[in-house]
């Protein structure tokens, strides 16, 4: 039985946020890779309506609001959103926070969003194509959906044993990945690159950027750092634009 990831996030939120050390000035894409200040995938956000999918503590939405965007964050975890509300208040910005599933964006009008963004939430979603369709409905024509998720090649790696590098799963195995994080059970879903490409194409997007960033050369490492990041890409980043309705 796959885990109830919303309940898992409620249980894990405090520990996740305590160790996360995420900037509220610039959007991040994943552990130990360059952030938006270097990757520049989102463009100028001043005056834009930006939707963050799986916003967690809303650090990225807060960064968008500081840049002059109207930021909207959606997440299904009440505990993650409770942390986000406190952080938004402390940072003295305005972010609209909504509790709900990423596949249910009925509260947003069609063609009303300038940029949709997501960091490391789509790996928890089984039916990603449904999310792509929902996001397509709310985006303006030509507007981007920019998202990062665990790189499908990294899903194959056993990163508990770094030497030697071990493959633990077939790339072609789409069954749910059950694991524990801080003692809390979670379920991830493996989305191969061709599944992502096909889902976006069928939902009428055009992919215009795909990034597999190498880890930063030096500097302090995140709490998630593994030596395996040097050999297999940890994060996949995609920018896709909405084609016509
Ligand atoms: C790894 S956290 C990332 C949070 C934030 N983007 C960040 O970078 O810190 C994943 C978030 O996605 C949310 N999430 C996962 N699946 C979701 C779904 N189907 N609907 C809504 N939120 C979801 C979780 O509650 C969690 O807050």
Q: Are 236 and 207 in contact (CB under 8 A)?
A: no
- Residue to probe by mutation, ligand 1, list 76, 107, 235, most atoms within 8 Å of CB: 76
195 class by beta-carbon count within 10 Å (0-12 exposed, 13-18 middle, 19+ buried): middle
Each residue of 140-155: pLDDT tens digit? 999 999 999 999 999 9
- Tell me the average pLDDT across 32-36: 97
Q: How far apart are CA 42 and CA 63, in angstroms?
A: 12
In the block, residue with structure tokens 């999918």:
53
**How many other C-beta atoms are found inside a 10 Å radius of the C-beta of residue 121?**
22
- Residue to probe by mutation, ligand 1, list 19, 28, 75, 184, most atoms within 8 Å of CB: 75
Q: What pLDDT does residue 125 have?
A: 98
Question: HSE (CB half, 13 Å, CA atoms) of 58?
Answer: 35
pLDDT band at 1 (very low <50, low <70, confident <90, very high): low
pLDDT at 164 over 70: yes
Maximal CA-CA distance, the chain:
51
94 Cα distance to chain centroid: 21
Q: What pLDDT does residue 161 have?
A: 75
Classify domain 5-242 at the CATH superfamily level. Vaccinia Virus protein VP39 (3.40.50.150)
- The residues lining ligand 1, judged by C-beta closer than 6 Å to any ligand atom, are 5, 9, 22, 54-57, 75-77, 80, 101-102, 119-121, 124-125
Question: How is the chain split into domains, by residue range?
Answer: 5-242
Q: Are 135 and 105 in contact (CB under 8 A)?
A: yes
> If you take atom 27 of ligand 1, which residue's CA is the nearest one?
56
pLDDT at 76 over 70: yes
């Amino acid at each position: 039985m796959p885990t109830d990831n919303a309940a898992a996030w409620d249980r894990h939120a405090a520990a996740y946020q305590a160790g996360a050390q995420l900037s509220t000035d610039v959007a991040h894409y994943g552990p130990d890779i360059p952030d938006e200040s270097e990757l520049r995938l989102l463009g100028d956000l001043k005056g834009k309506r930006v939707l963050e999918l799986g916003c967690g503590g809303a650090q990225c939405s807060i960064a968008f609001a500081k840049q002059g965007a109207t930021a909207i964050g959606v997440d299904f975890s009440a505990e993650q959103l409770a942390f986000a509300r406190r952080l938004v208040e402390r940072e003295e910005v305005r972010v609209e926070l909504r509790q709900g599933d990423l596949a249910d964006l009925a509260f947003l009008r069609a063609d009303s969003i300038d940029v949709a963004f997501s960091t490391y939430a789509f790996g928890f979603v089984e039916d990603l194509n449904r999310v792509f369709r929902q996001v397509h409905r709310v985006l303006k024509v030509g507007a981007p959906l920019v998202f990062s998720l665990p790189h499908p090649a990294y899903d194959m790696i056993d990163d508990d044993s770094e030497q030697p590098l071990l493959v633990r799963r077939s790339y072609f195995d789409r069954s749910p990945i059950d694991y524990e994080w801080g003692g809390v059970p979670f379920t991830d879903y493996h989305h191969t690159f061709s599944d992502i490409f096909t889902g976006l194409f069928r939902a009428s997007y055009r992919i215009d950027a795909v990034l597999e960033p190498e880890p930063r050369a030096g500097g302090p490492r995140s709490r998630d750092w593994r030596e395996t990041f040097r050999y297999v890409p940890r994060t996949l980043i995609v920018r896709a634009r909405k084609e016509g309705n």
